[in-house]
Amino acid sequence: MSEEGKEDKAIECLLNAVNECQETIRGYDTKAEILGILMTLVVGFLNFNLVSDYKCDKFVMGFIAAATVFAVTTLAFMLGVLFPSKNPIEEIILGEYAPRNTYFLTKPNKAKFNFQDIHYRLLETDWQKELLLELMKLSSIRDRKHKWFNAAVIAASVTFGTIATLALRIGYLCTIK
């Protein structure tokens, strides 16, 4: 295979990897949003239906407080998935490479895009390096979202377990009345 053929194949593989990484990131965002909706429904059910008649029981009130804390913790982790705060470029050692920022265009604050500048940068871009950099940044974002999502799922599981225990307690209270 010629050098040009190898370069074309490398660019094709990098583009596929970038697309796959973007799809995974969108998947984590969607799952986090669904988890947020479920937590909202569960907390609403907890506060408005399940415990209205048992607020005087200290055990019930303790579990309501615990479930609320775990639900808020879940929502905080979910926000970590949806709004990653760290700039992924900070985690990459660039060496001598100076990014051209031509794959994902970034407009300077309150400035306009300069067509001529962008066109020149496109012509001068080493696409293998530029795509590799974008893949590394996206991979960093994907990995961070994965960690936040796992934490959110664990917190949601604890929340649901707490609510299940609460439901059992209320069921017990109903049998002794």
Which regions in the chain score pLDDT beneath 50? none
* pLDDT tens figures, 66-99: 888 888 899 999 999 999 888 888 888 999 988 8
- Say what the pLDDT of residue 63 is: 78
Return the structure tokens found at 124: 């001068």
- Say what the pLDDT of residue 62 is: 81
- Say what the pLDDT of residue 2 is: 78
Whether the full predicted model's pTM is greater than 0.75, yes or no, is yes
- Say what the pLDDT of residue 134 is: 94
Gap between the Cα atoms of 59 and 172, Å rounded: 12
In 3D space, the residue among 165, 170, 160, 161 whose CA is nearest the CA of residue 54 turns out to be 170
Residue ranges of domains in the chain: 3-176
- Say what the pLDDT of residue 55 is: 61
Return the structure tokens found at 90: 């900070």
